[in-house]
Amino acid sequence: MALFLNEQEVAALLPMDECIEALARAFAHAGAGQTDNKARSRIRMPGGFFHFMAAADGGQGVFGYKAYPSFAGPGGAKMMVMLYDYQSGELLACMEGGRLGQIRTGAASGLATRYMARPDADTVAVIGSGFQARTQLEAVCAVRPIKQARVFSRRQERREDFARRSSERLGVDVQPADSAQGCVEGADIVIAITSAREPVVLGQWLAAGTHINAAGGNHWLRREIDEEAVLRSELIVVDDLEQAKIECGDLLWPEARGNFRWGMVHELRDLAAGRIPGRPSPESLTLFESQGIALEDIAAAELVYRKAKEQGTGAELPF
């Protein structure tokens, strides 16, 4: 019988370090040609949008999809992930996908950071202090010896609360910053995780050797980093090129102006398969543009399902 797992059960079965490894396996399978990923599609509804994304991983023996609405008003988006057996088509699990999405989004940035940031990187700047920012910082701390972090967001009380909670949870000195520039300058790793429509990270603030994770925008109207930051980056990596060409405003804007070409971009699978190095030189700026793809959801869901079966967690569905 298939399993149903709620948000709390999913989160308990999906620690960050294990999720990063699950994504590393999935992208290695992608590099070997064993996966298929379908970019997110959106259907406009009277009150909002319906989103759908799907992937298959033959190397891990699963396929599935994530679906969710985003409507105005209370309640938010209830994300659901469906996981199936690759050989038989049998439904394995149905699970709530809010926390899964939060953790796997952080894990994707953590995996990119493992490949792309300097090995001795120990300071982080976080622009944004919302739901997704928590796991972005957690994932970076899982792959680099972070000693100090700074956070900036528009509301002072939000950034102060984020700094306090993150310090306690991660055992890292996290301080609120008074400005985005003050947060970013001198950081080894910069995380942008916002819903901004205009850049919140400027290229002129970035020191040589910085790695950037831009993980907040998945719409062509949204930009988190400016054109200078893109053009200064010697290595640009996306989690999926097809989806980036639809959603990545940071790259679509300079591409439309003729200052950027998609041939300059690599995919995370290229790093996982060892086809390209993650860092051209210690002084290079590197950029990971994360849109959030279904392959990541399916990899995380497979890990959750496997552990749930081992531990006897979840409710059996009557079909």
The predicted pLDDT at position 160 comes to 97
Instruction: Quick: pLDDT tens for 92-124.
Output: 999 999 999 999 999 999 999 999 999 999 999
Instruction: Quick: pLDDT tens for 232-270.
Output: 999 999 999 999 999 999 999 888 888 889 999 999 999
Are 92 and 86 in contact by the 8 Å Cβ rule? The answer is no
- % pLDDT > 70, the chain: 99
Same-domain pairing of 118 and 34: no
Same-domain pairing of 121 and 237: yes
Instruction: Quick: pLDDT tens for 222-235.
Output: 899 999 999 999 99
Same-domain pairing of 8 and 68: yes
Same-domain pairing of 256 and 153: yes
Same-domain pairing of 67 and 115: no
Q: What's the first-to-final CA gap in the chain, in angstroms? A: 6
The predicted pLDDT at position 272 comes to 95
Are 292 and 222 in contact by the 8 Å Cβ rule? The answer is no
Between the CA of residue 250 and those of 37, 133, 279, 316, what are the distances in Å?
Answer: 22, 19, 21, 43
CATH number at residue 95: 3.30.1780.10
The predicted pLDDT at position 70 comes to 87
Same-domain pairing of 285 and 305: no
State how many domains the chain has. 2
Same-domain pairing of 144 and 32: no
DSSP string over 216-240: S--STT--SB-HHHHHHEEEEEES-
Same-domain pairing of 246 and 140: yes
Of 218, 269, 189, residue with least CA distance to 41: 218
Are 306 and 1 in contact by the 8 Å Cβ rule? The answer is no
Same-domain pairing of 72 and 120: no
Which residue segment(s) compose the domain that 168 sits in? Answer: 109-292
CATH number at residue 280: 3.40.50.720
Same-domain pairing of 123 and 90: no
The predicted pLDDT at position 318 comes to 84
- Counting every residue, how long is the chain? 319
The predicted pLDDT at position 75 comes to 63
Paired with 159 in beta bridges are none
Q: How many CB atoms lie within 10 A of CB 154?
A: 12
Are 233 and 212 in contact by the 8 Å Cβ rule? The answer is yes
Instruction: Quick: pLDDT tens for 125-176.
Output: 999 999 999 999 999 999 999 999 999 999 999 999 999 999 999 999 999 9
Are 117 and 293 in contact by the 8 Å Cβ rule? The answer is no
**pLDDT of residue 59 exceeding 90:** yes
The predicted pLDDT at position 118 comes to 98
Same-domain pairing of 67 and 22: yes
Same-domain pairing of 288 and 148: yes
